[in-house]
Structure 1
Amino acid sequence: MYFYLISLFTVFFFLLLVAADYYVDNPGAGIVWQFDKSYNVTWLDRSKNENTVDVRLVYGPADSLILFRTLCSKISPSAKFCSYTVPKDIPSGIDYAIIVGGVPANYGYSSYFTIISDGPLPENNGCPKMGGKNCSESLPCCSSSGFCGSSEAHCNAGCDPKHSFNGKCEVPGKSLSSSEQTAPTNLPKSNQSKCGEIYCGAENPCCSEFNYCGSTSDYCGSSCQPGKSFNGICAVGGKSTTTSTQLLTQKYSTTSASPAKTTTLSSILSTTKPTSSSKAKTTQTISLCGKTLCSKAKPCCDKNNKCGSTSKYCKKGCQPAKSFQGKCKL
């Protein structure tokens, strides 16, 4: 499987090389970066139209690379190198790569290389939905659905310790007993769209209006695209930066004898007790789809920010955070 992955990326890299403005010659195939050591990313500059470039560390399959971290930002392409010290929070993995460039059309790609950090190398290509790597210290648990996270839903029943940080399924700061284990309820979305050429990851979750991943208010602000952001959320440090003028709230009343569930843009369910009777209200906050709010008649917000009710709107590219009741469903 690893040989196939390397072969696929080699072909992908060769096809891009002809048109690329940058040729990344280090790291190359077979290179290993180790925890707490410094390395230079180097490239040949063939660009004639870019004043600055970013150097990005990505991982995953060649056709769906995920941004892990920007190593150097807005540096001169003629510098031809970027120094980086491997920190503890990078999980060990065999499918890391470097992207150099300012805009996707000019990107130069390195070959795949390996990073060995504080945790072990992944077995069987790591946590399944995380690009072949083990979970990091900040998102330590590999859930039953194959995503890394730090919640009880990720670290409870079904968590895979082989692909979790340091081989443990534990909520940070808490050891779980078997009586506390429950089924997953707040796992990441599986219908996230690409932000430019890559998918936004947990470290850089927000996709800006210019299709770049980042974690600051410049990326997570009013022009952020939730359908292309990690977990469908435009948030800095877990707190939404979307203003009240850009959000509309719909309240749906349901009759239930059980506690009510409140759903927000973060798609995390929390349980509260009804205050007066068996009737409780479920409140959902959704974003505008273009200039309108999708309705029951036209529930799905497509990738072009238009509401509709056919498979064209509700299937590939649909944005649940902007759709009626937060669902892409006919």
Structure 2
Amino acid sequence: MKHISILVPEEAVLTSITDPRMLFAAVNDFLKRAGKEPMFKVELVGLSKEVQLYQGSFTVHTDVLLQDVKKTDLIFIPAIGGDLQVAIEKNKEFYPWIIRQKAQGAEVASLCIGAFLLASTGLLEGRKCSTHWVYANEFRNMFPGITLVDDKIITEEEGLYSSGGANSYWNLLIYLVEKKVGREMAILTSKFFAIEIDRKSQSPFIMFNGQKRHEDEPIKLAQEFIEKNVTEKISVEELAVKFAIGRRHFERRFKKATNNTPVEYIQRVKIEAAKKHLESSRKNVNEVMYEVGYSDTKAFRTVFKKITGLSPIDYKNKYNKEAVVA
């Protein structure tokens, strides 16, 4: 029987504790109904017997104290809320235990912004990770040695797993059911919980807001110029000249400050504007393309799909109410 330890940290998001417990309990029930032995022993593990969440609105009663779990097979680190720095500090007693369990062969999975706690153990250094797209810039700033792939719903590397934002952690849970029990059980579980199986990208949900939490003022001005001139064709050379910085130096500074090259930033600003047009206006794809400064249909569609994971028409059909009605 596989031993699953769901951590109950301070500042945890309640649903990311109860959902994995409920899902693996359901899998055990499905197995019993099929005349098979249950596969999972699921326990809530905490630093104390009772953990108060949401300023005391909820109390989670843990099954076992952290110090009493000598060996486990799979650890879930739930999402956290509030001030991330505070949450990381409050839960530091978990980190040596997680590191020790990983060394003993346990797998570790973070759900949503539980990735900040997993990253704090040091286990993700030099590896890939995902988290909620809203916190992508904050994650990159706090953990520069980790490659954040914020468009991915699931990452897996040497027994370490992470999930994208919010409810997309259900896809990681289903993925782990498939790994541990098989495809047939994963399909059954996905149907029972009404979860779309095999969803791999959270790109359609990402809203690009730029990255201005840096101190490089000329680069901030360049960002603002790009954002105010969405309809124009802007070159990197033009930006470098406008802000009196050599092109190569400008590109290096821009990348360091924003985590995007100037070209990537221009593309993301234009595509974010295009998304808003497609969501709320009656304009067709070509009209929207011209509105955001593209004249090459193929180039626009290619960049749009690269950033959102959907073609412009599929995006419009998905998010524009009038398009759905039509």
Question: Would the TM-score normalized by the shorter structure come out above 0.5?
Answer: no
- TM-score normalised per structure 2: 0.29
Select the structure of larger CA radius of gyration. 2
- TM-score normalised per structure 1: 0.29
Could you say which structure has the higher strand fraction? Answer: 1
Could you say which structure has the higher helix fraction? Answer: 2
